[in-house]
Structure 1
Amino acid sequence: MTTLQNKIDFAVILRVKNANPNGDPLNGNRPRTDYSNFGEMTDVSIKRKIRDRLLERWVAAGKADDGNMIFVQSDDRKADEYKSLRARAEAVLGKALGSDQTALLACSKWLDVRAFGQLFALKSNKKAGKKNDDGSDDEGDTGVSIGIRGPVTVQSAFSVEPIDITSTQITKSVSGEGDGTKRSSDTMGTKHRVDQGIYRFFGSMNPQLAEKTGFSDADAQALKAVLPKLFENDESSARPAGSMEVVKVIWWQHNCKSGQYSSAKVHRSLTVNPDGSYSIDSLDGLVPECLDGF
């Protein structure tokens, strides 16, 4: 399978209505905003959703050993029995984990490693507290970190205009002890939501880095297929079904590995309006493909 042959840029326009797209745990789980009150979704949260959709795609295909499994799985969507990333890596890679074959084998097994990269931080097998011959402490081998740099980058999403956040006080009462006949005391809580907003984020795929991980044109098409469905099967109390949707996916495929234009210039050609409509400036020789959300 050939690696990615053409540079790709993409953008996703999404709509939020009465939902918390990405809460900040250090700020009472309020929706993230920058200092100008523009809404924000981190690249980490977006890649989590991409991984979940890719994992669902792999499960639907029958869990074949075709190199499309996902390494970084969330606890509520695991498709195997492993309880940690280390356990998964040790089970799949075996004795090769930590060797010079780690990166090659990991990229051949897991699609998200080929796409986003991964850091394998391995602890030393030497026991702590060992002494040198002269009686000094032997720091020994502190372990090794094997870093894989992926060709796919995803930026954080930002709202097109400042957002309004509504906070609602709630009461919670749970009978967690005894036979359930005695009601526990009420506790107070707060839920936050973005009333409405249009967000957009950008991403790119680099063929030069794809050569290092084996990221292929087929892998790029897999990401293209899941982007319109980013929020399907992602419902929660903070994001009720239908409260978040992908409006459009804009896909620019260049005619060469280095790209006809810089990613900055391509991304800047897209203008998104507060109602979700958009316009794209013409770039000679680079025609965008516009996909509807699911």
Structure 2
Amino acid sequence: MKKIIENRYDFIVLFDVKDGNPNGDPDADNMPRIDQETGHGLVTDVCLKRKVRNYVEAIKEDKAGYRIYIKDTAPLAQLDQEACKALDITDIKGLKKKTPQADEKIRDFMCSNFFDIRTFGAVMTTFVQGALNCGQVRGPVQLGFARSIDPIVPQEISIARTAITKVTDFYTKRATIGRKFIVPYALYKVEGYVSANLARKTTGFSEEDLALLWQAILRMFELDRSAARGNMATRELIVFRHESELGNAPAYQLFERVQVKKKVADEPARSYQDYEVTVDEADLPEGVTCTRMS
């Protein structure tokens, strides 16, 4: 039996992009997401979780216990029905009255089979419609929005498409002009949290799952290359480990120990080497240790 994590973790991920669009905004012609007031670039938690899911799916290849629930290759209702079939459930709506332990059984089945539910939680509409509490699972791992260290200046690049689709257009049309947005360079920081309390009470997130999560964060861009995203890489993962399940210090106090500054303030950064990353590990709160991974 896998060992459920017993320690709380707070972590920071530093990743960068060069000549690419890290997270396009569909409401703004796929322009890189930006904080309109400060000019800092943004990358959503949903985007980063997608990359973790894709990495786990690629290396585990639907291995038992490591399947991915949120994906575009299977309807969620179809995956929900797997729990019903395995637990011999035919009537969702009347289940709660007939079987008081139904919530727990369905939740445990879904968490044990799908890595991303066990990690991030999920809303399972089939069970929500049946008024079952297990339809909403809160995961122990949570991420915030990533924000660039400095303001970004997205650039619009014109591109030409020389291929002609229709035979009738071949002799009359020439290249079609299109466009793409890029960020010349930006370093982003995102804060994350791992709750041992939720892992124990709800999803069963294990030490093995945690090791896989760190691996996925460090390598999530390596299996997710595309021309649109340019060159992206995780540069560093800074993990604060608490001795206790509920934590030994507030997360914000630990995050404030991580400082990222540009070496030359008045010059635009164009590489990770243009920044200096420091972590104040002196006099850490009792029961907290820091590990830096890259």
TM superposition score normalised by structure 1: 0.81
Q: Which runs of no fewer than 5 residues in structure 2 stay unpaired?
A: 93-101, 263-273
Comparing 207-216 and 84-93, the one that deviates more: 84-93
The answer as to whether partners of 2:80 and 2:126 remain within 8 angstroms in 1 is: no
The alignment status of 1:255 with 2:243, answered yes or no, reads yes
Deviation at 1:85, TM superposition (A): 1.9
Q: Give the structure with the higher percent helix.
A: 2
Deviation digits for residues 109-151 of structure 1 (CA, Å, limit 9, x no counterpart): 1111011101111289xxxxxxxxxxxxxxxxx6546100111
**Which amino acid in the other structure matches residue 89 of structure 1?**
D
Q: Residue 54 of structure 2 aligns with which residue?
A: 52
Deviations 1:157-183 (A, max 9, x none): 100010121111223355333488556
Q: 1:91 to 1:264 in 2, by over 3 A?
A: same
SS at match of 1:246: strand
Contact 1:117 1:150 in 2 (8 A): yes
Q: How many residue pairs were aligned?
A: 262
| Structure-2-length-normalised TM-score | 0.81
Aligned to 1:289: 291
Q: CA deviation at 1:273?
A: 2.0
Q: CA deviation at 1:230?
A: 1.8
Q: Does 1:122 align with 2:131?
A: no
Give me the whole-angstrom Cα distance separating, in 2, the residues matched to 1:207 and 1:183.
65
Given residue 112 of structure 2, which amino acid in structure 1 is its aligned partner? S
Distance 2:68 2:89 in 1: 19
C-alpha distance after superposition, 1:196-220 (max 9, x if no partner)? 1111111010011111111112111
What does residue range 184-195 of structure 1 map to in structure 2 within 5 Å?
184=173, 186-195=175-184
2:117 to 113, 119, 123: 113
2:181 is paired with a residue whose SS is: strand
Structure 1's unaligned 5+ residue stretches are 76-81, 125-141
Secondary structure at the counterpart of residue 249 of structure 1: strand
| 1:168 counterpart letter in structure 2 | I
Matched residue SS, 1:68: coil
Specify whether residues 10 and 170 from structure 1 end up closer, same or farther in structure 2 by C-alpha distance, changes over 3 A only. Answer: same
Cα pair distance change 1:176/1:83, threshold 3 Å: farther
% identity of equivalent residues: 28
2:152 to 159, 163, 180: 163
Structure 1 residue 103 corresponds to structure 2 residue 107: yes
Identify the residue that residue 235 of structure 1 maps to in structure 2.
Answer: 225
Q: 1:42 aligns with which of 26, 41, 44?
A: 44
The letter of the residue matching 1:287 is T
1:216 to 203, 206, 210: 206
Q: Does the CA-based 8 Å contact 2:83-2:106 persist in structure 1? A: no
| Alignment deviations for residues 203-254 of structure 1 (CA, whole Å, 9 cap, x no partner) | 01001111111111211111011111021121112113xx111111111111
SS at match of 2:41: strand
